Amino acid sequence: MKEKTQVADIDRSLYDFRYEEDERDYLGSGITADIIKEISDEKGDTDWMREFRLKSLEIYDRTPMVEWGPSIEGLDIDNIVTYIRTKSRMNTDWDDVPDDIKNTFEKLGIPQAERESLAGVGAQYDSELVYHNVRKEVAESGVVYTDLESAMHDERYAEMIRSHFMKLVPPTDHKFAALHGAVWSGGSFVYVPKGVKLEIPLQSYFRLNAKGAGQFEHTLIILEEDSYLHFIEGCSAPKYYEAGLHAGCVELYVGKNAQLRYSTIENWSKNMYNLNTKRALVDEGGKIEWVSGSFGSHVSYLYPMSILNGRGARAEFTGITFAGEGQNLDTGAKIVHNAPDTSSYMNTKSISKSGGISTFRSAVTVNEKAVGSKSAVSCESLMLDRISRSDTIPVMDIRTDKADVGHEAKIGRISDETVFYLMSRGLSEEEAKAMIVRGFADNVSKELPLEYAVEMNNLIGLEMKGSIG
Amino acid sequence: MEKIILNKLPVPTFGWLKVNSAERDSAAFGSGEEREILLDSNARAEITGGRAKLMINAEENSRSTAVIYISGSEGKTVSVHVNAAAGAEVKLVEVYENSGAAIGDVNAEIAENAAFELVQLHLGGEDTLTDIRADLAGRSSRFKADIGYLLGGSDKLDINLIASHAGKKSDSEIAVKGVMGGKSDKIFRGTIDFLNGSSGAKGTENEEVLLMDETVRNRTVPLILCAEEDVEGAHGASIGRIDDEQVFYMQSRGIPTDKIYELMAKARIGQIVAKIGDEDTVRRVNAVIHGGEGDE
Per-residue pLDDT of chain A (469 residues; tens, 9 = 90+): 334 444 455 555 555 555 555 544 556 666 889 989 988 998 899 999 999 999 999 999 999 988 899 999 888 887 777 766 665 555 666 666 667 666 666 666 665 665 555 666 666 666 666 666 777 788 889 999 888 988 999 999 999 999 999 999 999 999 999 999 999 988 899 999 999 999 888 888 776 666 666 789 999 999 999 999 999 887 655 555 556 888 999 999 999 999 999 998 887 778 889 999 999 999 999 999 999 988 888 999 999 999 999 999 999 999 999 898 899 999 999 999 999 999 999 999 998 988 999 999 999 999 999 999 999 999 999 988 889 999 999 999 999 999 999 999 999 888 888 889 999 999 887 777 767 777 888 777 777 766 667 666 666 654 333 322 2
Which of the residues A391, A417, A418, A419 would you substitute to probe the B interface, choosing the one with the greatest number of B C-beta atoms within 10 Å?
A: A391
Helix (H, G, I), strand (E, B) or coil at B248: helix
Q: Which uninterrupted H or E stretch holds B37?
A: strand B34-39
- Cβ–Cβ of B239/A396 closer than 8 Å? yes
Helix (H, G, I), strand (E, B) or coil at B153: coil
Of B12, B230, B239, the CB nearest to A398: B239
Q: A421: Cβ–Cβ under 8 A, 6 or more apart, which residues?
A: none
Q: Nearest chain B residue to A369 by CA: give it.
A: B214
Q: Does A400 touch chain B (CB under 8 A)?
A: yes
Of A383, A397, A400, the CB nearest to B214: A400
How far is the C-alpha of A138 from the C-alpha of B174, rounded, in Å?
55
pLDDT tens sequence across B153-187: 999 999 999 999 999 999 999 999 999 999 999 99
Please report the residues numbered 191 through 230 in chain B whose beta carbons come closer than 8 angstroms to any beta carbon of chain A: 194, 196, 199, 209, 211-214, 216-230
Chain A residues near residue B237 by CB distance under 8 angstroms: 396, 405-408
pLDDT tens sequence across A267-306: 777 888 999 999 999 999 999 999 998 888 899 999 999 9
Contacts 24+ apart (CB under 8 A), A432-437: A433/A5, A433/A7, A433/A464, A434/A462, A434/A464, A437/A7, A437/A351, A437/A382, A437/A384, A437/A462
How far is the C-alpha of B135 from the C-alpha of B165, rounded, in Å?
6
Residues B142 and B118: beta-carbon distance below 8 Å? no
Please report the residues numbered 369 through 398 in chain A whose beta carbons come closer than 8 angstroms to any beta carbon of chain B: 371, 381, 383-386, 388-398
How far is the C-alpha of A240 from the C-alpha of A150, rounded, in Å?
31
How far is the C-alpha of A388 from the C-alpha of A234, rounded, in Å?
27
pLDDT tens sequence across B11-21: 999 999 999 99
Cβ neighbours around B176 below 10 Å, total:
23
- Cβ–Cβ of A397/B240 closer than 8 Å? no
Strands (DSSP E) found in B59-184 = 63-72, 76-84, 89-98, 101-110, 115-123, 127-136, 142-151, 156-165, 171-180
How many Cβ pairs closer than 8 A exist between chain A and B? 142
> Angle formed by the axes of helices A429-445 and A450-460, to 10°?
140
**pLDDT of B146 higher than 80:** yes
Which of the residues B180, B196, B202, B218 would you substitute to probe the A interface, choosing the one with the greatest number of A C-beta atoms within 10 Å?
A: B218
pLDDT of residue A462: 41
- pTM higher than the cut 0.95: no
Q: Nearest chain B residue to A385 by CA: give it.
A: B229
Chain A residues near residue B14 by CB distance under 8 angstroms: 68, 334, 361, 363, 395
pLDDT tens sequence across A206-264: 766 666 667 899 999 999 999 999 998 876 555 555 568 889 999 999 999 999 999 98
- Cβ–Cβ of B219/A397 closer than 8 Å? yes
How far is the C-alpha of B296 from the C-alpha of B287, rounded, in Å?
9
Q: Does A71 touch chain B (CB under 8 A)?
A: no
pLDDT of residue A24: 45
Q: Which uninterrupted H or E stretch holds A146?
A: strand A144-147
**pLDDT of B119 higher than 90:** yes
- Cβ–Cβ of B230/A386 closer than 8 Å? yes
How far is the C-alpha of B200 from the C-alpha of B159, rounded, in Å?
28
Q: Does B104 touch chain A (CB under 8 A)?
A: no
- Cβ–Cβ of B11/A399 closer than 8 Å? no
- Cβ–Cβ of A408/B14 closer than 8 Å? no
Report which of residues B279 and B294 the model is more confident about. Answer: B279
Residues B192 and B163: beta-carbon distance below 8 Å? yes
Residues B169 and B201: beta-carbon distance below 8 Å? yes
Of B214, B228, B230, the CB nearest to A402: B214
Mean residue pLDDT across chain B: 94
pLDDT of residue B108: 98
pLDDT of residue B246: 84
> Among B168, B231, B184, B240, which residue's Cα sits nearest to residue B207?
B240
Q: Nearest chain B residue to A391 by CA: give it.
A: B225
- Cβ–Cβ of B226/A384 closer than 8 Å? no
Q: Which residues pair with B57 in a beta bridge?
A: B83
How far is the C-alpha of A155 from the C-alpha of B162, rounded, in Å?
58
Please report the residues numbered 2 through 61 in chain B whose beta carbons come closer than 8 angstroms to any beta carbon of chain A: 11-15, 17, 19-20
Q: B272: Cβ–Cβ under 8 A, 6 or more apart, which residues?
A: B119, B121, B146, B147, B148, B177
How far is the C-alpha of A312 from the C-alpha of A340, rounded, in Å?
7
Q: Does A454 touch chain B (CB under 8 A)?
A: no
Of B12, B13, B231, the CB nearest to A412: B231
SS3 content of chain B, % helix, strand, coil (to 5): 15, 55, 30
Of B14, B217, B237, the CB nearest to A406: B237
Q: A190: Cβ–Cβ under 8 A, 6 or more apart, which residues?
A: A143, A144, A145, A202, A219, A220, A221, A222, A229, A231
**Largest pairwise CA distance in chain A:** 72
